[in-house]
Amino acid sequence: MSKNTNWFYVLIAVMLVAMLFISGRYFKGSGESSVGIAQTSEYKLKTEKSALVMAIHVVPGMEVRAGELLVELTSDELEVDISKLINRIAIYKSERAEKAKLANAEISYIKAQMGITIEELDAKIQELESEMKMNEVIAKEFAIDQTNGDDSPMAIKIRSLKLQKQKHLEALNIKIEDVNQESTTELHLLENQIELLESELKLLETQKSKLNKYATASGVVKNVYVKPGEQVESFSSLLEINPLHPTTAVAYLVGKKSSEFDIGKVVSVSSYDQLRNSVQGKVIGYGSVSQLPDILQKSTASQAFGQQVFIEIPAENTFSNGEKVLIR
């Protein structure tokens, strides 16, 4: 009984070694290469906002190219919001222009009003200065003694008038500065409101431009979920598209360390039978240890297992969905 038990454990050990040997031979090339399959991942186009379907330019089974217009949408709610913003911006801009005109008009009025007083003072000063010069000429001609010019009543009056003029000019500048400061504050507030509304308008116009849906990659239309004239809610699915070529390769590590395919590492992905069809891919993540797909199994008697490694590949490739590929 003991001998039979020993033979049983030996048999189990031999089978385990055989399975590991068979799994190790599934992979071509060096220890830094692995096999896998190329996979497509269909994608759905959705609307981010409730909208009305204006037109659909594709049908199921139709092949489309990247950038091709697929569905035309419009949103009455969005159009109303955009129209309201445009009107509010126009009103604020008109108010800004009117306030600037009012400020200039008020400054002109202050200058005109104060200018009358200053002109009257200038006229009196000129009149007194002319009279002083005439008196000086007469006094010299007839050799008449006169009071010192700077201390004479007339000179004192002239200085007083000039001081009044200076005070009026200072008052004029202060009033103009007050008007300018008040106007600048009001215009600055309006300018801020206009900028905020224009930013909001730009956001809505961006949303409007994104209403129409275009193919993000070449593919074949799998399903169309809406019809022209239909009102759709936010985040509703419109179309489902299968890419023409796989965008992901899944490698299976059997008897290899995951460090050989570090995340972010650039690898070469080529057709298993036609190595010349090669593209550059990037390791983007790991999956679980799972049974290899049938296309990778070489024996029906024993099934091989390996850890999944996901590799992103460009859409511009010649692989078919489910094709066996070699990753190096």
> What structural domains does the chain harbor?
25-40+245-328 (2.40.30.170), 42-75+211-244 (2.40.50.100), 76-209 (1.10.287)
15 pLDDT higher than 80: no
Average pLDDT for 69-74:
93
Higher-pLDDT residue of 24 and 74 is: 74
- Average model confidence (pLDDT) across the chain: 83
Higher-pLDDT residue of 1 and 203 is: 203
186 pLDDT higher than 70: yes
* CA–CA separation, 38 and 271 (whole Å): 9
Residue 4 banded pLDDT, cuts 50, 70, 90? low
Q: What is the pLDDT of residue 8?
A: 66
Helix axes 76-141, 153-209, angle to 10 degrees: 170
Average pLDDT for 262-268:
88
Kindly report the number of other CB atoms within 10 A of residue 224's CB atom.
Answer: 17
232, β-bridge pairs: 51
Q: What is the pLDDT of residue 259?
A: 64
The residue assigned the tokens 């911006």 is: 89
201 pLDDT higher than 60: yes
Residue 68 banded pLDDT, cuts 50, 70, 90? very high
Q: What is the pLDDT of residue 225?
A: 94
237, β-bridge pairs: 46
Inter-residue contact 40 to 320 (CB < 8 Å) = no
* CA–CA separation, 167 and 155 (whole Å): 18
Q: Where are the beta strands (DSSP E) in 89-196?
A: none
Q: What is the pLDDT of residue 228?
A: 94
Q: What is the pLDDT of residue 89?
A: 95
